[in-house]
């Protein structure tokens, strides 16, 4: 069968997922003669901030958008990770690596050998990112493996509306046709796919392929094509958002705090802050309102719909972000997850012929990634309710492996680096009862002395770094 390139791709949606999608398609497919049309319809993003992990920087490089331009326009702050506060105490989930080579076993297992379970939380302190974040310090990674700063990785916290506006301008410069629409009608056949979109004033748009970024409404994949949402137990019932909340005072992290009603996240940008609350299903609306409204600011409530689209790629339509399902957004943003799915779709080189085998492979791999993100958020539920019925048996088994052997049982699609996952597990209270047999003859006292030298080196390096505020004011002060 001859390969027929896609000639016209239509993206539907009005949020950051739609904006990022049109930029990606324009950069990757325009060289093949493909046109991209953006139908801007639907609701804005739920959260006003983008808590971006290090992969965002890789995406910016891929699409040719300067990092500094985004930081300036979107009032960005650099972030080294997440400062957590759970039932087991405070912890830091770093974006960077510890960078300590195996000798002979991994550094994690050295720690499990050197320390009893009740002391293993110290593991998270052996990242330069952790030591820098605790001191409000930040610096850029260096491409020299001899330097401890080569272990750093960083993300960003950004004003989502400003980021979306910048991406829209960039998409326009790339030749994307944008059309605003208040009343969208979809002509579709569940057995053939999307046929045509009818817009305001009797205009219509017809493409070879359609990408649904309309959030929970799922106007194309759900309402028009009837692809069902495979529901999953609710981890939280509502997301509450308040802009203008308490400031973290120029610290290079966001915070995640366990409350008796769920989890709360605090995020700063250069000229403001946002507090978000994820409310447990057992809380009534009145109880949640009373507790969240104890903070300053006006709160907006959004119900959460849990589950995954059974086939996010169906005929000539691909669902992205919340249109494809909701695995949780405390540990990954909607755009982060949508970008992973979009790049996977592009990796499979779709064409106008449809290729059922490609659709099947995409849906399989995308489901595995979705389940991995879901399980990471289930960890937050287990941290407060070990008997929760919302948690899969697969996760419980993987945690048993970690607690028994100190091992991560990897999936084909893992959303976080191994070292970050171990830091999250240890921070939330899971401990390993054993270490690698290669360390059976190694003295725990010798390992503790080695770890103290590493710790002292990290502290010294962190204290020599500039503050986050100094870096921002020199590198990318916001333009408002």
- Residue 371 CA, distance from chain mean position: 14
Taking Cα atoms as reference points, which of 130, 92, 124 lies closest to residue 107? 124
Distance CA 262, CA 275 (A): 13
Taking Cα atoms as reference points, which of 372, 297, 366, 298 lies closest to residue 331? 372
pLDDT in tens, the chain (480 residues): 456 788 999 999 999 999 999 999 999 998 888 999 999 998 888 889 999 999 999 999 999 999 999 999 999 999 999 999 998 899 999 998 998 888 889 999 999 999 999 999 999 999 999 999 999 999 999 999 899 999 999 999 999 999 999 999 999 999 999 999 999 999 999 888 999 999 987 889 999 999 999 999 999 999 999 999 999 999 999 999 988 766 788 999 999 999 999 999 999 999 889 999 999 987 654 566 566 555 556 788 899 999 999 999 999 999 999 999 999 999 989 999 999 999 999 998 777 666 788 899 999 999 999 999 999 999 999 998 888 898 999 999 999 999 999 999 888 778 888 999 999 999 999 999 999 999 999 999 999 999 999 999 999 999 999 999 999 999 999 865
CB 307, CB 230: distance < 8 Å: yes
**Cβ neighbours, 10 Å, residue 58:** 10
CB 192, CB 208: distance < 8 Å: no
- pTM (predicted TM-score): 0.94
Distance CA 39, CA 37 (A): 6
């Amino acid at each position: 069968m001859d390969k027929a390139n896609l000639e016209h791709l239509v993206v539907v949606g009005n949020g950051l997922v739609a904006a990022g999608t049109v930029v990606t398609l324009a950069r990757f497919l325009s060289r093949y003669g493909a046109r991209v049309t953006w139908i801007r319809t639907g609701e804005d993003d739920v959260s006003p901030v983008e808590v971006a992990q290090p992969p965002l920087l890789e995406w910016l490089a891929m699409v040719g958008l300067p990092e500094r331009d985004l930081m300036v326009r979107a009032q960005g702050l650099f972030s080294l990770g997440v400062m957590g506060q759970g039932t087991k105490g405070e912890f830091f989930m770093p974006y960077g690596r510890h960078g300590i080579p195996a000798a002979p076993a991994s550094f994690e297992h050295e720690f499990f050998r050197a320390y009893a379970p009740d002391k293993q939380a110290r593991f998270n302190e052996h990242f330069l990112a952790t030591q820098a974040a605790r001191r409000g310090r930040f610096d850029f990674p260096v491409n020299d493996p001899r330097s401890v700063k080569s272990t750093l990785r960083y993300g960003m916290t950004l004003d989502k509306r400003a980021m979306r506006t910048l991406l829209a301008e960039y998409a326009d410069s790339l030749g994307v046709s944008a059309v605003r629409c208040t009343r969208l009608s979809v002509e579709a056949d569940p057995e053939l796919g999307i046929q045509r979109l009818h817009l305001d004033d009797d205009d219509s748009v017809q493409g070879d392929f359609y990408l649904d970024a309309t959030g929970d409404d799922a106007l194309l994949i759900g309402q028009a094509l009837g692809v069902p949402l495979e529901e999953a137990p609710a981890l939280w019932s509502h997301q509450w958002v308040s802009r203008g909340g308490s400031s973290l005072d120029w610290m290079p992290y966001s915070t995640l705090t366990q409350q008796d009603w769920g989890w709360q996240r605090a995020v700063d940008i250069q000229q403001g802050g946002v507090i978000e609350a994820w409310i447990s299903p057992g809380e009534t609306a009145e109880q949640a309102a009373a507790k969240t409204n104890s903070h300053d600011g006006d709160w907006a409530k959004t119900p959460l719909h849990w589950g995954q689209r059974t086939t996010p790629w169906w005929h000539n339509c691909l669902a992205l972000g919340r249109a494809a399902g909701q695995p949780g957004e405390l540990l990954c943003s909607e755009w982060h997850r949508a970008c992973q799915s979009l790049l996977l779709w592009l990796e499979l080189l779709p064409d106008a012929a449809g290729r059922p085998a490609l659709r099947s492979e995409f849906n399989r791999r995308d489901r595995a990634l979705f389940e991995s993100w879901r399980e990471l958020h289930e960890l937050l539920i287990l941290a407060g309710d070990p008997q929760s019925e919302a948690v899969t048996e697969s996760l419980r088994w993987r945690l048993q492996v970690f607690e028994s052997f100190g091992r991560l049982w990897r999936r084909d699609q893992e959303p976080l680096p191994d070292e970050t996952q171990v830091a999250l597990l240890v921070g939330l209270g899971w401990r390993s009862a054993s270490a690698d047999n290669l360390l059976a003859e190694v003295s725990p006292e010798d390992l503790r002395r080695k770890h103290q030298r590493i710790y002292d080196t990290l502290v010294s390096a962190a204290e020599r770094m500039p503050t986050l505020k100094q870096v921002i004011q020199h590198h990318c002060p916001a333009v408002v």
